[in-house]
């Protein structure tokens, strides 16, 4: 069964107990009403025990009386559905590592969403709201959409976003400064690092807003800023994040947009100097090449 799990997580598998491995890797099921997370009602997030990817929020957990933790929704892109080996049920696995979670059922009428993710407690770890908010690696998003001043300005207005830092990503030069990147040749894009609280805002919400505050169709820069450092991109660090971005791009394309945004693997982020942080706040002005357009609400005219 190891072939079902991404190779990069094999060391994590070695740290699992025999029972944890039986469920997460070999797809066993824990006995009902025995899981330690069955009755957890505290605010927070439920993450994959194998890879740490965040899968569910407490607000989506409900009492189904089935004997296993139940959720009527997942964090967008975090859970993958596949046909079970029995040919009838739908198995759910962590989209980031492939670890077995349980099964999903629809049409039972237990909640308005009419969906029940029936999840093994042993497949999950719980982070309280306080723990999640102090986890430095829990929630960071990286996007590039032209001049980083404007992207920073709009994304830091979102409820649940804790900080937005302007910087550079994607190139081959270590510790570039602003003028190195402007002159070209470093391969970097002007990028922002968004640190957020996943209990209060989802990765999908941040990426959705990103697509609404710059022009994702422009191929040569952003607005009047022309050059490779101003291209549109989302840097992802997991399959779950890539799935979220792909889903949102699909919705935009269905609305008639031709998306030029690249989806790239996350690389090392280099923060710009202090003079390039909170630029518009310091100046007391509004961005000149960014603005809000509700692209997901209606088709392109």
- What fold characterizes domain 2-130? 2.170.150
Q: State the alpha helices, DSSP H only, in the chain.
A: 10-14, 18-24, 129-133, 148-155, 178-183, 203-212, 239-254, 279-283
CATH, domain range 139-283: 3.30.1060.10
The catalytic site residues sit at 118, 147
Residue 289: the pLDDT is: 79
Q: What is the mean pLDDT of residues 273-284?
A: 74
**30-39 as b/e: b if 16+ CB within 10 A:** beeeebebbe
Residue 1: the pLDDT is: 41
pLDDT digits (tens, 9 = 90+) for 163-215: 898 999 999 989 888 888 988 889 999 999 998 877 778 889 999 999 999 99
pLDDT classification of 300: cutoffs 50, 70, 90: confident
Residue extents of the structural domains in the chain: 2-130, 139-283
């Amino acid at each position: 069964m190891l072939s079902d799990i991404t190779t990069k997580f094999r060391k994590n598998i070695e740290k699992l107990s025999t029972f944890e491995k039986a469920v997460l890797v070999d797809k066993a099921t824990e006995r009902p009403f025995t899981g330690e997370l069955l009755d957890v009602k505290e605010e927070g997030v439920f993450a994959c025990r194998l890879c740490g990817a965040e899968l569910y929020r407490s607000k989506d957990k409900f009492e189904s009386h089935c004997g296993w933790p139940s959720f009527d929704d997942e964090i967008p892109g975090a859970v993958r559905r596949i046909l079970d080996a029995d040919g009838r049920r739908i198995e759910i696995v962590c989209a980031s590592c492939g670890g077995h979670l349980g099964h999903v059922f629809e049409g039972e009428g237990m909640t308005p969403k009419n969906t029940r993710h029936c999840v093994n407690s042993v497949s999950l770890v719980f982070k309280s709201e306080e723990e999640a908010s102090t986890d430095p690696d829990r929630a960071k998003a990286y996007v590039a959409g032209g001049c980083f001043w404007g992207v920073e300005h709009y994304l830091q207005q979102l409820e649940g976003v804790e900080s937005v830092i302007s910087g550079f990503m994607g190139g081959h030069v270590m510790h570039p400064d602003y003028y190195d990147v402007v002159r070209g040749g470093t391969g970097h894009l002007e990028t922002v690092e968004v640190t957020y609280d996943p209990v209060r805002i989802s990765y999908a919400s941040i990426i959705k807003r990103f697509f609404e505050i710059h022009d994702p169709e422009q191929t040569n820069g952003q607005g009047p800023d022309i050059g490779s450092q101003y291209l549109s991109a989302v840097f992802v660090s997991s399959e779950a994040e890539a799935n979220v971005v792909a889903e949102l791009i699909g919705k935009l394309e269905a609305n008639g947009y031709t998306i030029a945004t690249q989806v790239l693997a996350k690389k090392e982020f280099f923060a710009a100097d202090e003079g390039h942080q909170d630029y518009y706040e310091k100046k007391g002005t509004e961005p000149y090449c960014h603005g809000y357009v509700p692209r997901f609400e209606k088709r392109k005219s």
